[in-house]
Copies of this chain bind each other. A is one copy, B any other.
Amino acid sequence: MNSYAIAIHGGAGTISKDTITPEQELEYISGLKAALEAGEKVLKKHGSSTDAVEAAVMALENNILFNAGRGAVFTHEATHEMDAAIMEGAQLRAGAVSGVSNIKNPVQLARAIMDHSGSVLLAGEGANEFARKMNFKFEEDDYFFSQYRYDQLMKIRDTDVVKLDHSVSDSPNPPKRFGTVGAVALDLHGNLAAATSTGGLTNKRYGRIGDTPIIGAGTYANNKTCAISCTGVGEYYIRAVVGHDISCLMEYKGLSLEEACNELVHHKLMEMGGEGGLIGIDAKGNITMPFNSEGMYRGMKKKDGDFVVEIYA
Contacts of A210 in B (CB 8 A): 121
A248 vs B99: C-alpha distance when bound (angstroms): 30
A174 at the interface (CB under 8 A from B): no
Given A239-B92, A249-B252, A252-B249: A119 and B244 interface contact (C-beta under 8 Å): no
Chain B residue at minimal CB-CB distance from A162: B118
A241 vs B214: C-alpha distance when bound (angstroms): 10
Neighbour of A124 across the interface among B93, B124, B272, CB < 8 A: B124
Contacts of A125 in B (CB 8 A): 124, 207
* Bitwise interface map of A from 84 to 96 toward B, beta carbon under 8 Å scored 1, else 0: 0000000011100
A163 vs B118: C-alpha distance when bound (angstroms): 8
A238 at the interface (CB under 8 A from B): yes
Interface segment, one of A126-134, A138-146, A297-305: A126-134
A92 vs B215: C-alpha distance when bound (angstroms): 18
Number of copies: 2
Given A118-B162, A248-B252: A126 and B208 interface contact (C-beta under 8 Å): yes
Chain B residue at minimal CB-CB distance from A205: B126
Most buried by B among A234, A235, A241, A252: A241
Shortest beta-carbon distance, A201 to chain B, in Å?
9
A168 at the interface (CB under 8 A from B): no
**Is B252 touching A209 in the complex (CB atoms < 8 A)?**
no
**Is B206 touching A119 in the complex (CB atoms < 8 A)?**
yes
Chain B residue at minimal CB-CB distance from A88: B239
A237 vs B240: C-alpha distance when bound (angstroms): 17
A179 at the interface (CB under 8 A from B): no
**Is A239 touching B208 in the complex (CB atoms < 8 A)?**
no
Chain B residue at minimal CB-CB distance from A208: B119
Shortest beta-carbon distance, A260 to chain B, in Å?
10
- Count, chain A residues at interface, CB 8 A: 44
**Is B241 touching A127 in the complex (CB atoms < 8 A)?**
no
Chain B residue at minimal CB-CB distance from A248: B248
Contacts of A93 in B (CB 8 A): 239
Chain A residues within 8 Å of B, Cβ to Cβ: 92-94, 98-99, 117-127, 129-130, 162-163, 205-210, 214-217, 220, 234-235, 238-241, 244-245, 248-249, 252-253, 272
Q: What are 27 pairs between A and B in contact, CB < 8 Å?
A: A92-B272, A93-B239, A98-B123, A98-B209, A117-B206, A118-B162, A119-B163, A120-B234, A120-B235, A120-B238, A121-B208, A121-B214, A123-B124, A123-B209, A126-B205, A130-B205, A130-B206, A130-B207, A214-B215, A215-B217, A215-B239, A216-B241, A244-B244, A244-B248, A248-B248, A248-B252, A253-B253
Known pairs A120-B234, A130-B206, A248-B248. 14 more at Cβ < 8 A? A94-B238, A119-B209, A122-B207, A122-B209, A123-B123, A125-B207, A126-B205, A126-B207, A127-B206, A216-B216, A216-B238, A216-B241, A249-B252, A252-B253
Kindly list the 10 A-B residue pairs having the minimum CB-CB distance in the complex, ordered from nearest.
Answer: A126-B207, A248-B248, A252-B252, A216-B241, A126-B206, A252-B253, A130-B206, A123-B207, A121-B209, A241-B244
